Structure 1
Amino acid sequence: MTAVFDELGDIDAANVVRCARVLLRRPLLRAGGPDGDLLPMIYRHRAALQELFAARLGYRLVVERRFARLGKSGAGQDPTRGEPALTPRGHAYLALTLAALTGIGRQVLLSRLVSDVRAAAAEAGVAVVDDPADRRALTAALRNLVSLGVITETEGTVAADAGAEALITIDTDLLGQVVVGPLAEAADPAELVELAAASGPRDVAHAVRRKLVEDPVVHYADLAPEQARWLREHRTTEARALERYFGLVAESRAEGVVVSDPEDYLTDVVFPGPGTVARVALLALPELLSRAEPDEAGFHPVDGRDVAEVCRELVEAHPAAWSRQAAEDHQELVRAVLELLRRLGLARPADGRWLLSPAAHRWSPRPDATPAPGKEPEPPAPEPAGWSLFDEMEDG
């Protein structure tokens, strides 16, 4: 299945695994960007990497000397993923900006680009409110493209005040690599998402392997019957393959598989981790699990009131151990704990309650995660709102 990889020596094989991990974390890798120093190695091992991703995951890998693009795609929509700096409106502006950049050339004045983006929004039926929140969303979309290297601030900056103009240079090669889905084949956005998420020639194997690589917890109950059957039959060989090709460790249980990265490089959220929210969540899990019997799939149903009560007991039992914000805003603490557990795949909302994953038993019995009094740092004060380039900008 991975003949090129099997022919490599130990050092080269280790380097391919290192490159594969970087590409999983940074699907659009460019010279001058984070981990961009590995591009020469990725280019040298491009044949092995392309075969590895195609055979194991059904992913297409494009490698040039200046960039590498891994065409990752999910098997569904995960609300916990995405660019944290972009709101839903920011994502909409990102798509509109990409559309505007497509036919604009290699350089453009920022004011012209903003005008074209707003024109594209009107054509797509997206209302432009032109209020501070709307301008921040557009600013965030442009900054995201700057971070990807798609646009460069040649003169001026997207963070300048409204009185300054800026000249933007577009990297057309990178621009063409941002959208993974087959645009020419899709009739509408929904079909584009569906086509981009297609599992490839080995439909069942690729779909399950993508979940194992991309998600921390995979429950048999969440898989299609043929996928669950395939994973049960191949869980041992797949665990070995995950460690060999991607440096990941899989733990198999009766209810599913938990995949972790010992180096935390591919981990979206480190858990257990520092901070009040992570420690309270860790300490709350054993108590919450004990409050309800598991259902047929192994999930423990708990009410929001149970979570609030357990969090309150922990804060009151160790009042000097937590941040002042947690002690003063209990409702926000409960919300943050549940959001953390949701992002980790350890909890999910269902019919007004929360279902705790059987994977949460990994942290039972209760661990000693309580920090010493006075050691929990206060969260930093929010930064004052900065100038937006689009403040007081008139439509052109």
Structure 2
Amino acid sequence: MNRDAAERQRAFTALLRSPVLDRRTHPDVWPLVRVHRVALGEWFTQRLGYRLVVTDSAARLFRLPVDGVVVAPRRFRPPTRRVLVLAILAAAAAEDAEDITTTQDLSDRVRVLSTHEDVGLAPYDPDRYAERTLFVKAVRLLVSMGALRPIGRDDEERREGWAHHRDAIGGAYEVRRELLLRLVDPASLRVALSGGRDDGPPHEAAARIGLMRKLVELPVVLYEDLTDAERHYLTSQRHRVLTWCAEMTGWVVEQRAEGMALIAADEADTDLPFPRQRAADFAALMVLDELVRTHGAGSVVTADDLRAAASEVRARHAKAMTNELRVGNAVESTARDRLGALDLLRPTGIPDTWRLTAAAARFRDPRVVAVNAKLDEEDEG
């Protein structure tokens, strides 16, 4: 592979991982995005139906819906609705703030903004610790999206200090108006305001885009989940599809009788690597193995089946359980959440029943090397 091809792959996967890139937050990748912006823009537009906007200082990838649908799954443990609401209000407040603002300034502005009659939201009450904690998360979300840039120290201690009223100002931030105004994409907004529907791409393009999005965005693509048009496109253009995947990412497409998966080369290239050396992942993996051995991939399991598997894992691997996993139904709920996010345990539509997807068999019979020490628990806050 030549240098240009490797640089394009690195820039492409970086944008998938972080849809907002700039010279300050991603100094190593930003020059590659700038140099290869034309090729990257063509890949995102023609193959995935996304829109890449690159300016002199930043790049923003918009995952536009097709027929009201965005394939990319919800983030694992996404921000709560209240955090999102506060983030939107903080973004609106930041637009009228000075170029340099603070957590306290934004909080004061949001408190006033939330009381307007035409807002129609529960007023923000910064005198309550719970609300201040949520506001800290909202500001952190705006930082992650590039709309605010921390100035000086912006660590957990300072954020927690402001939430506890120990810091009268909180963090200081530069308002990055260019990215602030790009938080909402006009095309996405137009679709949202029209009830989630638009004209969409032509029939063949829709099939191509739908298939490529599923390969790039989902943990696994089962043939049963493809539309007739997508299956036909894959049948007739399989070589092209595989070539595109390799060209864009450098990753390997694993093909099985039941479906396909684009396997990332590094854990950093996926939003939910599994399994990691974490107690929660270990518990989920062991529960999955128990379910697959007892019922088989493709089978429907119930809440009782899941509970029984969790109990067996907790008893068999007691030394590997952290204090958090020893409480109540923690093993069961942890496994359900993680396996659901990975589409290994899929809801059937009937309450308290799930189907073990075919991909679950890929994780069968895991080898446990040692369980003589507790595994570290990751910070998922």
**TM-score when scaled to structure 1?**
0.79
- Confirm or deny that 1:180 pairs with 2:185: yes
CA distance in 1, matches of 2:19, 2:380: 31
Q: How much does 1:22 deviate?
A: 0.9
* Deviation digits for residues 256-282 of structure 1 (CA, Å, limit 9, x no counterpart): 222220222321222222123322332
Query: Aligned to 2:29, what secondary structure does the other structure show?
Result: helix
Q: How much does 1:43 deviate?
A: 1.1
Mean CA deviation greater in 235-244 or 354-363: 235-244
Q: How much does 1:244 deviate?
A: 1.9
- The equivalent position to 1:39 in structure 2, one of 30, 36, 60, is 30
CA distance in 2, matches of 1:260, 1:172: 37
Structure-to-structure mapping, 1:180-329, within 5 angstroms: 180-182=185-187, 185=190, 188=193, 191=195, 202-292=205-295, 299-326=298-325, 328-329=326-327
CA distance in 1, matches of 2:74, 2:100: 32
Structure-to-structure mapping, 1:1-396, within 5 angstroms: 10-33=2-25, 35-73=26-64, 76=69, 81-82=74-75, 84=77, 86-104=79-97, 106-108=99-101, 111-121=104-114, 122=116, 123-128=118-123, 130=125, 131-153=128-150, 159=159, 161=162, 162=165, 164-165=168-169, 168-182=173-187, 185=190, 188=193, 191=195, 202-292=205-295, 299-326=298-325, 328-329=326-327, 331-350=329-348, 351=350, 352-364=352-364, 366-368=365-367, 370-377=368-375, 379=377
**Cα–Cα, structure 1 residues 291 and 187, in superposed 2: closer, same or farther, change >3 Å?**
closer
The answer for the alignment partner of 1:387 in structure 2 is none
Q: How much does 1:333 deviate?
A: 0.8
Q: How much does 1:147 deviate?
A: 3.7
Specify which structure has the bigger relative contact order, considering alpha-carbon pairs within 8 angstroms and separated by 6 or more residues: 1
Q: How much does 1:20 deviate?
A: 0.9
Q: What 5-or-longer segments of structure 2 have no aligned partner? A: none
CA distance in 2, matches of 1:245, 1:378: 34
Q: Note if contact 2:148-2:174 (Cα within 8 Å) is conserved in structure 1.
A: yes
**Cα–Cα, structure 1 residues 256 and 124, in superposed 2: closer, same or farther, change >3 Å?**
farther
CA distance in 2, matches of 1:293, 1:114: 52
Mean CA deviation greater in 226-235 or 153-162: 153-162
Amino acid at match of 1:164: A
Mean CA deviation greater in 229-238 or 63-72: 229-238
CA distance in 2, matches of 1:178, 1:256: 35
**Cα–Cα, structure 1 residues 12 and 86, in superposed 2: closer, same or farther, change >3 Å?**
same
The answer for the alignment partner of 1:393 in structure 2 is none
| Length, aligned pairs only | 364
Q: How much does 1:236 deviate?
A: 4.2
**Cα–Cα, structure 1 residues 306 and 185, in superposed 2: closer, same or farther, change >3 Å?**
closer
Q: What 5-or-longer segments of structure 1 have no aligned partner? A: 1-8, 384-396
Q: Note if contact 2:279-2:377 (Cα within 8 Å) is conserved in structure 1.
A: no
**Cα–Cα, structure 1 residues 88 and 253, in superposed 2: closer, same or farther, change >3 Å?**
same
Q: Note if contact 1:86-1:137 (Cα within 8 Å) is conserved in structure 2.
A: no
Q: Note if contact 1:39-1:65 (Cα within 8 Å) is conserved in structure 2.
A: no
Q: Note if contact 2:150-2:173 (Cα within 8 Å) is conserved in structure 1.
A: yes
Q: How much does 1:108 deviate?
A: 4.9
CA distance in 2, matches of 1:241, 1:382: 33
**TM-score when scaled to structure 2?**
0.82
**Cα–Cα, structure 1 residues 267 and 286, in superposed 2: closer, same or farther, change >3 Å?**
same
Question: What RMSD over aligned residues (CA atoms) do the two structures have, in Å?
Answer: 3.3
CA distance in 1, matches of 2:278, 2:101: 44
**Cα–Cα, structure 1 residues 316 and 74, in superposed 2: closer, same or farther, change >3 Å?**
farther
